[in-house]
Amino acid sequence: MGLEQRQRQWRWCVVVFMVMITITVSVSDTHTKQVSRIAFGSCSNQSAPQPIWEAVLDFHPQIFIWLGDNIYGDIKRPFKLFGRERTIGPWKNAPRFIPSSEEEMEAKYRKAKSNPGYAQLKENAEVIGTWDDHDYGLNDAGKEFHRKIINQKLLLDFLDEPQDSPRRKQAGVYASYKYGPAGRDVQIILLDTRYHRDPLGSDGTILGNSQWSWLERELKGSSAAITVIGSSIQVISNLSATVHPLFSMESWAHFPRERDRLFKLIADSKRGGVFFISGDVHFGEITRYDCAVDYPLYDVTSSGVTQSVEGVVPPFLHFLVRSVAWLTPSTMRVKGPNCRYKSCVYGQPNFGTIEIDWDSHPVTLKLKVRDENGIAVTGINTSLVELQASNSEDSVKVGHDRRHCTLEVSLPWIIRYRLTILVSITLAVLLLVFIGLVYTAITVFLKGVCKRKQE
């Protein structure tokens, strides 16, 4: 072997060695970097204005978490009460939502990814996420959806998931991430509530056997100081129990056995510092359940980046939406002076934030829902001490006495259905007034006709 060839081999060895060092350092930074600022959001229509990214950037998150409906990939057809294809009414014969083609989904993802505010966020923070129904491909869809394999690839491309990632080989987009040194580590567990989900009303499974086995390994494996579980649909709240049949919202409460299994798994894992983040419902709120484990379980719901319940009605009717939120009974919602509105529901575009003060004693957490200007509209301050299991029987007993232990389905019917009752009475009164006005008009008209005939 000549001297020149040996020199080339030596140079290649040096290059390979330097690359290996760089990769090792990079991976080490990813796992040991202390995380103290996390933002999250959901429900972002790629075709709508997205001014909220400026506020997200001003928060300076180290991580941003998508919680689903990252695009609106399916096609929403207009309301049609009459005609050949009727999408609403008792004689409905056509679906309101239909799937997009693969090319259409790709185009929508490209549009979302090219938004200047979002592009800047990707430069400044690590972006991770899961999906919900509209980026899964079809409104309210579950395991029966036939395009889920193709759409899984499109979502992972949108998230810049590496080509050799296990997420590209498994059935579903669930994933787990760990950040920070031991004692100051944060684990983020993202669930897939679509790929394996049984039909609504079946009380079957949400996660499926393979995802349940994976989740058990994650929760019973090496622990973390803080564990954030991301679910595209709400875990704790069950507003459908109190607004049915006026409205219906997906949540874990539609699958009570699955939710009980999730709570039991968390309790059996003996983990402290666990809480949920969720999206889907087009409003922000914070809910709490005191009787699942030996400390309060919180669910911070942020929805959405563009989609909101107040956004679908004219501004002069916003007071009506807020009144409905205030009248709707909720045993799980956290209410207090930190809320912008009395209901502690925020129905305009919003995003969620997690702030961790590792240097305080005890370690404190600020969980907030923020508006388009980055101002908190509801939130709680808690600590890792409060999110730990207690061996004291007295403390557990106190927890069970709190209002956050009564499920919405357990409320007396007069309270549970008060919104439906009020709306029904209002509609009945309006109908009677309308009938009275029609009757009066007809009576006046007939009297006038009779008078003219007599003349």
Amino acid 88: pLDDT: 85
Amino acid 91: pLDDT: 84
The closest of 96, 173, 166, 104 to 136, measured between CA atoms, is 173
Amino acid 247: pLDDT: 79
Amino acid 11: pLDDT: 52
Q: Is 377 exposed, middle or buried (0-12, 13-18, 19+ CB in 10 A)?
A: buried
Amino acid 396: pLDDT: 42
Q: What is the SS3 assignment for 367?
A: strand
Amino acid 9: pLDDT: 52
Amino acid 108: pLDDT: 98
Amino acid 455: pLDDT: 64
Q: What is the SS3 assignment for 286?
A: strand
The closest of 176, 67, 73, 50 to 119, measured between CA atoms, is 50
Cα-based distances in Å from 296 to 187, 272, 299: 18, 10, 10
Question: In order along the chain (455 residues), what is the average pLDDT of each group of 10 residues?
Answer: 49 40 32 90 98 98 98 94 86 92 98 98 98 98 98 98 96 98 97 97 95 98 96 94 84 96 97 97 97 95 97 95 93 93 97 98 97 98 93 45 80 88 92 94 86 71
Cα-based distances in Å from 330 to 132, 409, 427: 24, 10, 24
Task: Report the 3 state secondary structure along 179-235.
Answer: ECCCCCCEEEEECCCCCCCCCCCCCCCCCHHHHHHHHHHHHHCCCCCEEEEEECCEC
Amino acid 248: pLDDT: 82
Structure pTM?
0.89
Amino acid 235: pLDDT: 97
Q: Is 454 exposed, middle or buried (0-12, 13-18, 19+ CB in 10 A)?
A: exposed
Amino acid 347: pLDDT: 98
- Contact between residue 130 and residue 68 where contact means Cβ atoms under 8 Å apart: yes
Residue 274 is encoded by which pair of tokens?
Answer: 């666990």
